[in-house]
Amino acid sequence: MPENPIEHIDFDALNNCAISAPLISHIYTADPSAHVFNGKIYIYPSHDIDAGDAFDDLGSHFAMEDYHVLSMDHPLDTVAKDHGLALHVKDVPWAKKQMWAPDAAEKDGKFYLYFPAKDPEGIFRIGVAVSNDPAGPFVPQSEAIKGSFSIDPAVFKDDDGSYYMYFGGIWGGQLQRWRNGTFNAGSPESPVAFLPADNEPALCPQVAKLTDNLLEFAETPRDLIILDEEGKPLLQGDTDRRFFEASWMHKHEGKYYFSYSTGDTHYLCYAIGDNPYGPFTYAGRILEPVVGWTSHHSICAFNGQWYLFYHDSSLSKGVTHLRCVKVTPLEHDEKGLIKTIKPYRD
């Protein structure tokens, strides 16, 4: 068997050299989506639990079943407040299991929680639940968003008041099973089944404008193209740069920044474009790899300063599916490029 590097990590030393501490430690949380609502930071993470499911590349061990909402008066507070249960899978009529990374949005005093979950047929869909309070509890719609698929919804409000959802994830996120427009259950259950060849363009994250009530797609989702420095789409074999999961969008000085995880190579990367649909040109790395298999983030401004919300597995001493959310300042340089962050000091 290959050597397990986790067994040789001194986690006391690792936590001493980490650039930030877990925002909460009484439960395991991951995939933090952060927003400023009513002058306060609200964080919408997934809630990791140890359900005893087998580890595999389809993510079966990520068996999350509910959401908690966290809040902070300032991003650099030492701890966040847990507002308790905001939504449970048993309260979602169409969902069966695996409530993975969520996001939230606000419009006209109402708050919308967007979340992926598997339906009874084992297909990931994206749902929405509504509340009058950013901390919830949230009441889910009876059906998933029509035409939704895959995972990791991220909702971006543009300056003109339009809202866009970005989503998708390969391997266990099932994006590759939708290449022909319908779900291909297929066989075998390998996470790389149906992926393009290494020399073909990489699978793309998806983007769709939302309806005015924020409950449905206003259009058919389309590919968000990420280009290399020569203006060509990134290839599937370019695993250090191609999209895997964890979409996020922020806007800085008139430019649109689409950021994402490369998954199996463990980087957070970003690309820059001139409009919400792209195309986007690859621009670099935001975060070097963290302890734990996954990397998933959000980027949020508070009082003129940008912050990166992310996670690692330091709290559980390296258990892949038991993670903790963290935050650190993020900087754009004079050219608008994001300065790469190392999660642990040398």
With a CB cutoff of 8 Å and minimum separation 6, the contacts of 242 are 202, 226, 234, 235, 236, 262
Answer whether 295's CB lies under 8 Å from 308's CB: no
Q: Which residue has the tokens 């797609």?
A: 217
How far apart, in whole angstroms, are the C-alpha atoms of residue 243 and residue 198?
13
H or E element: which one contains 12? helix 11-17
Catalytic site residue from 10, 31, 333, 334? 31
Q: Which residue, 257, 302, 322, is CA-closest to 42?
A: 302
Structural element, H or E, at residue 14: helix 11-17
End-to-end CA distance of the chain: 30
Backbone torsions φ then ψ of 3, nearest 5 degrees: -65, 140
Is 245 considered catalytic here?
Answer: yes
Of 266, 271, 257, 282, the closest CA to residue 343 belongs to: 266
Paired with 128 in beta bridges are 114
The DSSP-derived string for 256-305 is EEEEEE-GGG--EEEEEESSTT--EEEEEEEE---SSS----EEEEETTE
Determine whether 121 is an active site residue.
Answer: no
Strand, helix or coil for residue 252: strand
- Catalytic hit among 108, 245, 334, 346: 245
- Which single residue is written with the structure tokens 């005015």? 212
168 neighbors 150 (Cβ within 8 angstroms)? yes
Kindly list the catalytic residues. 31, 245
